[in-house]
Structure 1
Amino acid sequence: MDFLRPLTLADALAAKAEHPDAVPLAGGTDVLVELNFDHRRPAALLDLTRVPDLHEHSRVDGRVRIGAGVPYTRIIAELGADLPGLAMAARTVGSPQIRNRGSVGGNLGAASPAGDSHPALLAADAEVEIASVHGARLVPVKDFYLGVKRNVLAEDELITAVHLAPATGPQQFSKIGSRNAMVIAVCAFGLALHPERERVGTGIGSAAPTPRRAAEAEEFLAGELTDRNLWHAPRALEDSVKRRFGELVARAASPIDDVRGSAAYRKHALAVMARRTLGWAWQDYLEGSRRACA
């Protein structure tokens, strides 16, 4: 097995072009496990840990650009105020040691339906920055996933960053597992309110072949909030609205039975999580509106 260690992004892209079968190695929290259990034996590893460009975050055209190698701990500490949903999801990832190494770029590269960052990225309308020696492109995260552990990357491309707009409204994330920490999600749900656009964003994890949005649920809730003028004059949401939102989120999932949970349980859990996260997010919105009027 060859071990490639570029020191610049240009060198990393050139190495990937020359060795398209090389597996990128950033935090190693997925790849090294697969190597240790002999589930994968690639011809080459492309170590990206010494490429500075991948470990920085910045503002680009008013959006937050997070390098693919920025670890979860830095997202929590440095970007939590701008990206609360992603920070909430990051706090649920593994142990402190895993959060020190793992990154959103690695999560996207693995493209596991159970990846913790995916629901938050979907709810926030993130875009994935992808590059090769031929140039860079931005892919909406909703179009990034192709199947179980499959994504749109060409064989000579690397994930270089993810772009998200700073939150303009409350965001929430909820995850269910067999225990409270260091666990793969049985299912997960992300929610973001976008009052400036009168839009609602959602993200479902570990309940379909790919992470996905609940489009019907988004349209229903946004329509209710607009028709009742709740974006501009917020008041308590009726239980029937929360319940219907949960039903539509569950309807958007297509889970399977596996060792972590049944399909029926996942649908039930998603409905509950959707109702609860909506309740938490709307309470934050109400309180923010009251403070603004005080």
Structure 2
Amino acid sequence: MEFLRPATLAEALAAKAAHPDAVPIAGGTDVMVELNFDHRRPTALLDLGRVAELHEHTADGGRIRIGAAVPYARIITELGTKLPGLAMAARTVGSPQIRNRGSVGGNLGAASPAGDSHPPLLAADADVEIASATGARTVPAREFYLGVKRNVLAPDELITAVHVAPASGPQQFSKIGTRNAMVIAVCAFGLALHPDRQRVGTGVGSAAPTPRRAGAAEEFLAGELTDRGLWESPRPLEDSVLRRFGTLVAEAAAPIDDVRGSADYRRHALSVMARRTLRWAWDDYREGSWPRCA
């Protein structure tokens, strides 16, 4: 197995172009597990640990650009107030050691339906920055996933960053598992309220072949909040609105039965999580306390 260790992004992209079968490795929290269990035996590893450009986050045109190798621990401590939903999800990722190594870029590259960062990225309308030696492109997170552990990356491309707007309203994340962290989600749900656009964002994880949004639920809730004037004059939500939102989120899923849970359980859990996160987020919005929700 060849080991490639570029020092700059340009060198990394050139190496990927010359070795399209090379597997990128930054934190190694997914790749090393596959190697240790002999589930993957690539011809080359592309170590991105020395590429400084991938370990930085910056403000970029009103949005936040998070380098693909920025670890979860730094997202929590440095970006938690601006991206509360992503920070909440990051807190549930593995152990402290994993959070110090793992990154959103690695989560996206693995494209597992159960990846913890996917629901908040979808709910926040994130974009994925992708580059090759011949140029760069940006793909909305909702279009990034193609199937189980499949994404839109071409063989010569690398994920270089994620672009996310700072939260303009409350965000929430909920995950079902045998414990809060160090566990693969049975199912997960992310919610973001966007009062500046009077829109709602959602993200469903570990309940379909790919992470996905619950479009009908988003449209229903945004319509209710707009038609009732609740964005401007927030009042408690009626139980019927909470229940309908939960039902629509569950209907957006396409879960399977596996060792972690049944399809019926996942649908039920998503409905409950959707109602709870909406109640939490809306209470934060009514009370004006949402900047502290991270």
The TM-score, its normalising length taken from structure 1, stands at 0.98
Cα drift, residue 181 of structure 1: 2.4
Between the aligned partners of 1:289 and 1:184, the Cα distance in structure 2 is: 30
**What does residue range 81-100 of structure 1 map to in structure 2 within 5 Å?**
81-100=81-100
The answer to whether structure 1 residue 251 and structure 2 residue 251 are counterparts is yes
For residues 75-124 of structure 1, what are the alpha-carbon distances to aligned partners after superposition, in whole Å with 9 as ceiling and x for unaligned? 00000010000000000000000000000000000000000000000000
Between the aligned partners of 1:289 and 1:177, the Cα distance in structure 2 is: 28
Give the aligned CA root-mean-square deviation in angstroms: 1.1
Cα contact 1:234–1:289 (8 A) shared by 2: no
- Name the counterpart of 1:214: 214
- Name the counterpart of 1:64: 64
**What does residue range 16-27 of structure 1 map to in structure 2 within 5 Å?**
16-27=16-27
- Name the counterpart of 2:198: 198
Cα drift, residue 178 of structure 1: 1.7
Cα drift, residue 37 of structure 1: 0.4
Between the aligned partners of 2:46 and 2:124, the Cα distance in structure 1 is: 30
Stretches of structure 2 that go unaligned for 5 or more consecutive residues are none
- Name the counterpart of 1:145: 145
For residues 135-185 of structure 1, what are the alpha-carbon distances to aligned partners after superposition, in whole Å with 9 as ceiling and x for unaligned? 110000000000000000000000000000000000000000022321000
Letter of the 1:92 partner, please give it: T
Between the aligned partners of 1:243 and 1:182, the Cα distance in structure 2 is: 30
Letter of the 1:109 partner, please give it: G
**What does residue range 92-241 of structure 1 map to in structure 2 within 5 Å?**
92-241=92-241
- Name the counterpart of 1:53: 53
- Name the counterpart of 1:266: 266
Between the aligned partners of 1:217 and 1:253, the Cα distance in structure 2 is: 11
Cα contact 2:169–2:290 (8 A) shared by 1: no
Cα drift, residue 290 of structure 1: 11
Between the aligned partners of 2:53 and 2:66, the Cα distance in structure 1 is: 10
Between the aligned partners of 2:252 and 2:220, the Cα distance in structure 1 is: 13
Letter of the 1:237 partner, please give it: L
Cα contact 1:57–1:64 (8 A) shared by 2: yes
Question: What SS class does the counterpart of residue 39 from structure 1 fall into?
Answer: coil
Between the aligned partners of 1:253 and 1:275, the Cα distance in structure 2 is: 15
Letter of the 1:122 partner, please give it: L
Letter of the 1:196 partner, please give it: D
Letter of the 1:171 partner, please give it: Q
Between the aligned partners of 1:166 and 1:290, the Cα distance in structure 2 is: 13
Cα drift, residue 289 of structure 1: 8.1
Stretches of structure 1 that go unaligned for 5 or more consecutive residues are none
Between the aligned partners of 2:32 and 2:213, the Cα distance in structure 1 is: 30
For residues 204-252 of structure 1, what are the alpha-carbon distances to aligned partners after superposition, in whole Å with 9 as ceiling and x for unaligned? 0000000000000000000000000000000000011000000000000
Between the aligned partners of 2:161 and 2:69, the Cα distance in structure 1 is: 8
Between the aligned partners of 2:134 and 2:285, the Cα distance in structure 1 is: 44
Question: What SS class does the counterpart of residue 160 from structure 1 fall into?
Answer: strand
Question: What SS class does the counterpart of residue 7 from structure 2 fall into?
Answer: coil
- Name the counterpart of 1:34: 34
Between the aligned partners of 1:180 and 1:105, the Cα distance in structure 2 is: 22
Between the aligned partners of 1:136 and 1:214, the Cα distance in structure 2 is: 29
- Name the counterpart of 2:80: 80
Letter of the 1:223 partner, please give it: G
